[in-house]
Amino acid sequence: MDEFSPINSRKTKLKLYFCFTKVFSMKKIQMVDLMAQYEKIKPAIDEALHSVIDKTQFINGPEVGAFQSELASYLDVKHVIPCANGTDALQIAMMAVGLKPGDEVITPSFTYIATTEVIALLGLKPVFVEVDPLTFCIDPTAVEAAITSKTKAIVPVHLYGQAAHMEPLMALAEKHNLFVIEDNAQAIGCTYYFEKGGHAKTGTIGHVGCTSFFPSKNLGCFGDGGAIFTNDDALANTIRMVANHGQSKRYYHDLVGCNSRLDSIQAAILRVKLRQLDIYNEARKTLRTAYSKIDSAREVDPQNPALEHSQQILIDKYSAIIEAHLADSDLDEAREFLGDLTATGISSPAVDSLKQKFSLREEDSGESKKGVAVGVF
């Protein structure tokens, strides 16, 4: 009696149960493992937190000013104005440049909702344009075609750590007298290289840049946080006023603003993590390279352990499912999962073995292959 006969299905299911129990009891793979990240910098983080608590200056304490200065130095930008979150950063920037209801703002159709949300909240009109399929960032050619007499601003989004093509966007802005507000929430630390030489950090090239310090960001705090960047002194002054109830000084409200600030605890955490930002970015690049190779691989690469491990996990999961269906003589389900596995393009002895087992079970059952032959998956 072979191991796939129905009489042994209970045994196989128990084996499958323990297999999946082991898999799912393993540490969950997250986009950003905040616990692992914290453990590596725990002494510095704990010291920074205790320092703020000991001083009890939780709002606009010295840590906020220090973080502003350090981030401005890192970005090589004149002004950094912290705020409560990335969405607030975008809204404050649009208010500060003086956009009015009915003004058109060009933005990519492929972005997070916050980019467009603030445009709508301020009574502005979002004008969506396509992105470059290679970078997923806004296409300058599409931007140029969308400019009208009502266009007042362009909001490029630096997505997935990749920079939008800023040079032609800035040329268009100058030609048509438009503001450029960079959404840099996913690309802080990214360097843009100009075609004629020189470079600058994304978020510092347009008239104003915005970012988020949401915990999963490249530079993330332990709650909500955001910041706005600019090299324009007058604009920086207006941004500070808008973010602080429109005040030029205490109890003197020169314009309508909002209440958006970064608290001292988050600033203290960000000061510690800013020193790690380049390390975090390099780690993400390494992972991106590994995932890219997995996506395009046709063979398991013994010279790339990370790639081999990732593919083996996929094979193991499919193998457990397929063998369970074979044990229950459910060949239709086994065929479907084997087809999905083969469609990934992964080639290995384990996959070949699964195909052979399926072929033998199919022959034993006397079923037709329903148009699917082993080796054609």
Same domain, 217 and 344: no
3-state percent helix, strand, coil for the chain, nearest multiple of 5: 50, 15, 35
What radius of gyration, in Å, describes the C-alpha atoms of the chain? 27
Is residue 231 situated within a structural domain? yes
Same domain, 334 and 271: no
Is residue 265 situated within a structural domain? yes
Residue finishing a domain among 279, 314, 333: 279
Give buried/exposed letters for 293-312 (b at 16+ CB in 10 A, else e): ebeebeebeeebeebbebbe
Token representation of residue 166: 């800023």
Same domain, 18 and 77: no
Which residues are registered as beta bridge partners of 138?
Answer: 131
Q: Give me the DSSP letters along 142-169.
A: HHHHH--TTEEEE--B--TTPPP-HHHH
CB 201 within 8 A of CB 192: yes
Same domain, 10 and 65: no
Same domain, 59 and 94: yes
Same domain, 275 and 333: no
Q: How far apart are CA 316 and CA 314, in angstroms?
A: 5
pLDDT at 367: 55
* Beta-sheet strands, E only, within 231-311: 247-249, 252-253
Per-residue pLDDT tens digits for 336-356: 777 777 776 666 677 777 788
- Domain carrying residue 122: 38-279
Is residue 374 situated within a structural domain? no
Same domain, 229 and 119: yes
Same domain, 94 and 243: yes
Same domain, 108 and 192: yes
Is residue 291 situated within a structural domain? no
- Per-residue pLDDT tens listing for the chain (377 residues): 344 334 344 544 444 544 555 445 555 667 788 998 999 999 999 999 999 999 999 999 999 999 999 999 999 999 999 999 999 999 999 999 999 999 999 999 999 999 999 999 999 999 999 998 878 899 999 999 999 999 999 999 999 888 999 999 999 999 999 999 999 999 999 999 998 889 999 999 999 999 999 999 999 999 999 999 999 999 999 999 999 999 988 999 999 999 999 999 999 999 999 999 999 998 888 877 776 666 554 444 444 444 444 455 566 666 777 777 777 777 777 787 777 777 766 666 777 777 888 787 777 766 544 443 333 22
Same domain, 205 and 268: yes
| Beta-carbon count within 10 A of 235 CB | 20
Task: CATH number of the domain at 144, please.
Answer: 3.40.640.10
Domain count for the chain: 2
pLDDT at 316: 64
Same domain, 119 and 182: yes
Per-residue pLDDT tens digits for 136-177: 899 999 999 999 999 999 999 999 888 999 999 999 999 999
